[in-house]
């Protein structure tokens, strides 16, 4: 007699197998761009990404929106920062990002779609053998970036003159929860603030919502500041 295994049972088995697979690593472009353009990196075949930071009153502090190609290149990026009163929109055009309004060439790219330089500002990007951006240099600025094995940005060190700013990102042990981590900010070797972030995730191990609590170590008494981050992700 031939036994027939129900499709639903096979689906459960396959789902269990998927759970045992390591989560997808971040691409060099996703990890590097998240450092440079100040957004959270996400995994997988992302088509569009919108990240919105809300303060305790539910008002928008910052919004980042991007469209990506199937190869993982950022085709467009729109950045809105209320606290700094800045807006910018970049569009990929051959080997440059151009300003969406003025059409000026702003950022030159190398290879398929990695950052190379900002010619007008005298800024140059360094990459490692795996195509991650590991450094940024200009006349009076030096930034170095570090990454975990899965591409997660572990932080950066910024040096300008005799000032050193260090951001340390310390992830949780569960690598599926990519954006559950805490951050320490150090100025000239002294810790000044720390932030804890916890998130809910979708089936791609990407965040849907994150809660952030930030504390100034130097303030007495310490008064936590809380934020909510909401993500809208469309996949290929």
- Band (pLDDT 50/70/90 cuts) for residue 20 is low
In the predicted model, is pLDDT for residue 73 greater than 50?
yes
- pLDDT at position 112: 84
Q: Identify the band that residue 1 occupies on the pLDDT scale cut at 50, 70 and 90.
A: very low
The SS3 of residue 194 is strand
Residue 28 in this model has a pLDDT that exceeds 60: yes
- Tens-place pLDDT, residues 82-104: 888 899 999 999 999 999 999 99
Give the per-residue pLDDT at 4.
Answer: 47
Percent with pLDDT over 90 in the chain: 83
Three-state secondary-structure class, residue 67: strand
Q: Which pLDDT score is estimated for 81?
A: 94
- pLDDT for 36 beyond 90: yes
* 235 pLDDT above the threshold of 60: yes
> CA angle, 124 as apex, 37 and 108 as ends, to 5°?
70
Q: Among candidates 50, 63, 81, which has minimal Cα distance to 207?
A: 50
Q: What was the pLDDT predicted at 9?
A: 42
What pLDDT does 13 receive? 41
In the predicted model, is pLDDT for residue 6 greater than 90?
A: no
* Residue 175, burial from CB neighbour count under 10 angstroms (0-12, 13-18, 19+): middle
Domains of the chain: 24-235 (2.40.160)
Q: What percent of the chain has pLDDT over 70?
A: 92
Contacts of 148 (CB under 8 A, 6+ apart): 154, 171
Task: Look at residue 47 in the predicted model and tell me its pLDDT.
Answer: 98
**What is the pLDDT averaged over residues 48-58?**
97
First to last CA, the chain: 42
- List pLDDT tens digits, range 190-218: 999 999 999 999 999 999 999 999 999 88
The contacts found for 101-106 with CB under 8 angstroms, 24 or more apart, are none
Q: Within its chain, how far is the Cα of 16 from the centroid?
A: 29
């Amino acid at each position: 007699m031939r036994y027939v295994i129900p499709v639903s049972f096979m689906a459960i088995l396959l789902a269990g197998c998927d759970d045992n697979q390591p989560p997808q690593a971040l691409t060099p472009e996703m990890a590097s761009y998240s450092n440079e353009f100040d957004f959270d990196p996400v995994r997988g075949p992302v088509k569009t990404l919108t990240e919105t930071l809300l303060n305790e009153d539910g008002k928008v502090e910052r919004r980042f929106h991007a469209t990506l190609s199937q190869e993982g290149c950022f085709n467009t990026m729109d950045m809105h920062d209320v606290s700094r009163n800045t807006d910018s929109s970049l569009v990929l055009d051959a080997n440059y990002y151009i300003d969406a309004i003025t059409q000026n060439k702003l950022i030159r790219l190398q290879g398929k779609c990695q950052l190379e330089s900002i010619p007008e500002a005298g800024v140059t990007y360094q990459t490692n053998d795996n195509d991650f951006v590991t450094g940024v240099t200009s006349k009076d600025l030096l930034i170095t970036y570090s990454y975990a094995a899965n591409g997660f940005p572990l932080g950066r060190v910024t040096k300008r003159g005799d000032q050193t700013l260090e951001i340390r990102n310390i992830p949780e042990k569960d690598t599926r929860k990519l954006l559950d981590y805490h951050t320490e900010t150090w100025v000239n070797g002294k810790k000044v603030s720390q932030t804890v972030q916890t998130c809910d995730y979708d089936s791609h191990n990407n965040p849907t919502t994150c809660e952030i609590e930030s504390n100034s170590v130097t303030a007495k008494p310490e008064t936590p500041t809380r934020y909510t981050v909401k993500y809208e992700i469309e996949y290929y």
